[in-house]
Structure 1
Amino acid sequence: MLDAATTAQLKTYLGNLRTPVELVATLDDSPKAAEMRSLVEDVAAQSDLVTARFDGQADRVPSFAIRRADGTAETRFAGLPLGHEFTSLVLALLHMGGHPPKEDAELLDSVRALEGEFHFETFYSLTCQNCPDVVQAINIMAALNPNVRPVAIDGALFREEVETRKVMAVPAVYLNGEPFGQGRMDLAQIMAKLDSGTVARAAEKIAAKEPFEVLVIGGGPAGAAAAIYAARKGIRTGVVAERFGGQVLDTMGIENFISVSHTEGPKLAAQLEQHVRDYEVDIMNLQTASALIPGEAGGLHEVKLASGASLKAKTIILSTGARWREMGAPGEDLYRNKGVAYCPHCDGPLYKGKRTAVIGGGNSGVEAAIDLAGIVAHVTLIEYDSQLRADAVLQAKLRSMPNVTIITSALTTEVLGDGEKVTGLQYKDRTTEELHQVDLEGIFVQIGLVPNTEWLQGPLALSGRGEIEIDSHGATNLPGVFAAGDVTTVPYKQIIVAMGEGTKAALSAFDYLIRS
């Protein structure tokens, strides 16, 4: 089941096991069950501390449990945890086998202290880059607390259950049979939903911090670069991030990061965070900035957080990035995650054999349509402009696909549904003003970015598009306040551009400090 290179890697990882682990499979005569048996046997063969059994009794077949040999902890995979989920399999084995998770000690203590019964069900797809974070976080909880019993379910394998539960976006998490969360979540976010004291304790710790010399707001490529360059100058540096990695976490394939021919967003985000942690940078993750209060001349700036805490700093670097733009059409909010989606890589497999639409004719939209065309029955691409704006090579590929319809000069005017899920969309032909309806089950929105600056309304100068106005040094109109990346007026929203701009802002902040 596993190739030689993967098997060798797995054997090395399993050398970190400290206590015995059982793999207990529940199988039938299906081809997927045969693959699962092969996978379980391959894994068990790589360590004397791993044993395999095939006499399991579970509701979902095929599935297998990873169980601590003394029976005190268990997690389950209903599906083959390959692709993006292979790391989840490896980490589940290690954590069930006594290898400590790489998480904050206080957070892990909070997991151990949870009381009650927590039966988690997480629906994932093998192409979803957001799903592993959720699966791995809940598996850590299961390894630490016997009250937590999770199962990770491959939505493509258990399609009947997906249809019954109306799961139309992954990751989708249920707790004790009720919806718990949708989209990427890490352990701290999950614990914040389960234990409100987690948020209060974090806010209390943040409020007690001394002022920083450089405080970076945002943990994407620009923020990471700014933090590294500031820390290398030997000055007190902090980073406030709603989620470290930013929009990079939602990016599947990256092929234009110079010197790296191919990588994936979550991998790059993890590398960015690790590089920042190589320096003495105070990272405050899962924190949302809510207000900027500029200091008097030469004084400290203040950033208020949604948690109620606030931070002060001599200089600020704003790198809060951007988010996907929404259509703003009636029905979009109502059917979000019920047929309206923004990540074709994550949710595309849930629409296998169905009719879908992609809104947007730029590179992102055309790439999404190409990916979906290999999965779904039909793709209708709708572009507002009179022509597609994607690179010529992408347009050629799209036009070569037989199950794609391209509609230009079209404005989506309404998302249609039956109250539970999307059934179609309505668009207006901008040339004739006629209204048309397309019957479909899924709509993927890919129409550009909106800067995350709503919290910055006030003395900071913003462009008509809401971007932070900066000069050639990354400086804003406020002395000591700098900005970098997709949130600014800098042209070309690219990862490598954002990193350069973050570097420039950090060097400018340092120059400001030594001259003030």
Structure 2
Amino acid sequence: MLDDNLKAQLKAYLERITRPVELVATLDERPASQELRELLQDIRALSDKITVVEKNDLPVRKPSFLITQPGAATGPRFAGVPLGHEFTSLVLALLHTGGYPPKADADLLEQIRHLEGDYEFETYYSVTCHNCPDVVQALNLMSVLNPRIRHTAIDGALFQDEIEAREIMGVPTVFLNGKLFGQGRMELAEIVAKLDQGAAAREAAKLNAKEPFDVLIVGGGPAGAAAAVYAARKGIRTGVAAERFGGQVLDTLDIENYISIPKTEGPQFAAALERHVREYEVDIMNLQRAQALVPASTPGGLIEVRMENGASLRAKAVILATGARWRNMNVPGEEQYRTKGVTYCPHCDGPLFKGKRVAVIGGGNSGVEAAIDLAGVVAHVTLLEFAPELKADAVLQRKLRSLPNVEIIVNAQTTEVTGDGHKVTGLQYQDRVSGAQKSLALEGIFVQIGLLPNTDWLKGTLELSRFGEIVVDAKNHTSLPGVFAAGDCTTVPYKQIIIAAGEGAKAALSAFDHLIRS
């Protein structure tokens, strides 16, 4: 099951286990059960602290296995064969069950241990989803720390009957005690905050008590991370308030154009950004959404950033690095059927549409790449492009046109997403040449039409372009004294990770120059 290289790596990790771990498998006659049996035997052979038992009469999903301690019946469970992106989740579950300390804030770990109530979590994932591991790993850890928390990570491709019954069309999807709890990427602190009702108020009080920063950076993507490193290296008091550290990089699959790194994946790159920032004395305030910017009332005075949870942070200079988000089609039915057939991540959700007919909206590189990937999974892909021709690179277009189950429609303006009240059944579009209204019968729609800057909260406060971007000059000054901006939320052209990082560094240097001159 595991190749020699992977076995060697896993063996090195398993040497960190300090207490016995028991893998309790519940299997049937399906091929996936045999695959799982082989995987568990490979793992058992790599550590004398791991045992494997089969209990095929348990009333649980088959195939599945529980990671626990001998004599116990709690801990994380995987329903399926956790390979692909979920292999790391498996390794961490083994380590944490085996006594290896988790890398998380000590206060947060204690908060999890003292959660009251009984929680039965179920997470549906796909092995190609790069957003799923964060959720799976968080809930697995919670089930290790607190015996009243149970978690089963379910491979949606293997349990298609449940996917259909629960009308799941996007992963990760989490159920708590049988009811929908959340969809999409969630971090450990975010999940705990949803369970602990007093957490938000306590966090707001902590933020309000902080002394003013020399530089406060709003946003934790490549621009924000670079700004933090450059500011901290100047020896000034630096803070980062981020809705999620890593930003949109977390939603990126392959990164192959960041100079000196031939290839990496978005979540890995985001983790590296955070590790680098934490090398310095930077106050990282994660899961914090900014709500308003209040300019200084007097020259050289403090600038205030008000957060959604009611807290306020103050600083002598502020760097806005809030990034961008996927652009919506803004047509009837899109919002109604979001996660019910309308999705924005082909890598995450593609396996859920195996054998079905789908559409990709957008003919740029992202759209064409999505169509190519989906063509290997779904029955048929229709790509719709608003312009008279595709905008993707020629090599991608050639690959797309070579696929037998792909249709390309140009001059197509999507006008409506249609459905039956529960899930997508198709879309309507207008032929921009003839003006004719046409329809397509579909079960999934993947939207890939570019980005929108995360600047809605700044309207009326500083100068924005007609596209909502923060207007900056060559040194990242905005229209407000002491306020700088960097990255995809600004008017700087070419929204690329490497450009955002460079702009973040420039913004920090400009902010430092502002501080020493004022």
Contact 2:208 2:313 (C-alpha < 8 Å) held by counterparts: yes
Residue number in structure 2 paired with 1:19: 19
8 Å contact kept, 1:73–1:96:
no
| Cα RMSD for the two superposed structures | 0.8
1:189-229 alpha-carbon deviations (Å, 9 max, x no partner): 10111111111111111110000001000000000000011
Are positions 1:104 and 2:131 aligned together? Answer: no
Equivalent residue number for residue 312 of structure 1: 314
Q: Percent identity?
A: 67
Counterpart among 379, 398, 406 of residue 396 in structure 1: 398
Matches within 5 A, 1:256-295: 256-295=257-296
Q: Which of 509, 512, 515 does residue 513 from structure 1 map onto?
A: 515
Q: Is the 8 A contact 2:172 2:184 kept in 1?
A: yes
Q: CA deviation digits over 1:386-431, x for unaligned, max 9? A: 1111111111111111111101111000001000000000000011
Contact 1:218 1:241 in 2 (8 A): yes
Q: Which runs of 5+ in 2 are unaligned?
A: none
Aligned to 1:384: 386
Distance 2:232 2:462 in 1: 26
1:69: Cα distance to partner?
2.1
Match of 2:416 in 1: 414
Paired position in structure 1 for 2:80: 79
Whichever residue aligns with residue 36 of structure 1, its letter is: L
TM-score scaled by structure 2?
A: 0.99
| Other-structure match for 2:30 | 30
Which stretch shows the higher mean deviation, 71-80 or 301-310?
71-80
Does the 8 A contact of 2:246 with 2:273 survive in 1? yes
**Which amino acid in 1 is paired with 2:403?**
M
SS at match of 1:486: coil
Superposed displacement of residue 473, structure 1 = 0.6
Which 10-residue stretch deviates more, 286-295 or 95-104? 95-104
What is the rounded CA distance, in whole Å, between the counterparts of 1:139 and 1:28 in structure 2?
24
Query: Deviation above 2 Å: which 4+ runs of structure 1?
Result: none
Structure 2 counterpart SS, 1:126: coil
Q: Is the 8 A contact 2:293 2:461 kept in 1?
A: no
Alignment match, 1:46: 46
Q: Report the Cα distance in structure 1 between the residues aligned to 2:91 and 2:223, rounded to whole angstroms.
A: 31
Distance 2:59 2:42 in 1: 21
- Deviation track 1:135-156 (CA, whole Å, cap 9, x = no partner) reads 0000111111000111000000
Give the Cα–Cα distance (whole angstroms) in 1 for the partners of residues 365 and 286 of structure 2: 31
Query: Deviation of residue 19 (structure 1)?
Result: 1.2
Asked whether 1:148 is paired with 2:149, we answer yes
Hey, what's the Cα distance between the residues in 2 that align with 1:404 and 1:459?
46
Alignment of 1:214-233 (within 5 A): 214-233=215-234
Give the Cα separation in 2 of the matches to 1:417 and 1:256.
39
What's the CA shift for 1:63? 0.7
Residue 75 of structure 1: CA displacement?
1.2
1:6 deviation in Å?
Answer: 1.1
Separation in 1, partners of 2:294, 2:251: 31
Q: For structure 1, which segment, 71-80 or 105-114, has the greater mean C-alpha deviation from structure 2 after superposition?
A: 71-80
Partner amino acid for 1:421? K
Q: How far did residue 236 of structure 1 move?
A: 0.5
Partner Cα separation in structure 2 for residue 326 and residue 106 of structure 1: 38
Q: Is the 8 A contact 2:319 2:508 kept in 1?
A: yes
- 1: CA distance, partners of 2:116 / 2:125: 27
Task: Give, in whole Å, the separation in 2 of the partners of 1:401 and 1:77.
Answer: 35
Which residue type is aligned with residue 398 of structure 2?
A
Q: CA deviation at 1:161?
A: 1.1
Matched, 1:67 2:100: no
Alignment match, 1:165 = 166
2:489 pairs with 1:492: no
Task: Return the offset for 1:500.
Answer: 0.4
Q: 2:131 — aligned with what?
A: 130
How much has 1:72 moved relative to structure 2? 6.0
Which residue of structure 2 aligns with residue 175 of structure 1? 176
Three-state SS of the structure 2 residue aligned to 1:304 is: strand
**Secondary structure of 2:488 counterpart:** helix
Tell me the distance in 2 between the aligned counterparts of 1:260 and 1:98. 34
Return the letter of the residue paired with 1:416: T
Aligned residues of 1:461 and 1:477 also touching (Cα < 8 A)? yes
Deviations 1:21-48 (A, max 9, x none): 1001111222111110010011111111
Distance in 1 between the 2:11 and 2:205 partners? 43
Q: Quick check: 1:235 aligned with 2:215?
A: no
> Letter of the aligned partner of 1:456 in structure 2?
L
Q: Check if 1:372 corresponds to 2:374.
A: yes
Name the aligned partner's letter for residue 54 of structure 1.
Answer: E
**Structure 1 residue 249: Cα displacement:** 0.5
**When the two structures are superposed, what TM-score results if normalisation uses the length of structure 1?**
0.99
| C-alpha distance after superposition, 1:50-89 (max 9, x if no partner) | 1111124242111111012241631110011111101100
For 2:440, the equivalent position in structure 1 comes to 438
The residue that corresponds to 1:344 in the other structure is 346
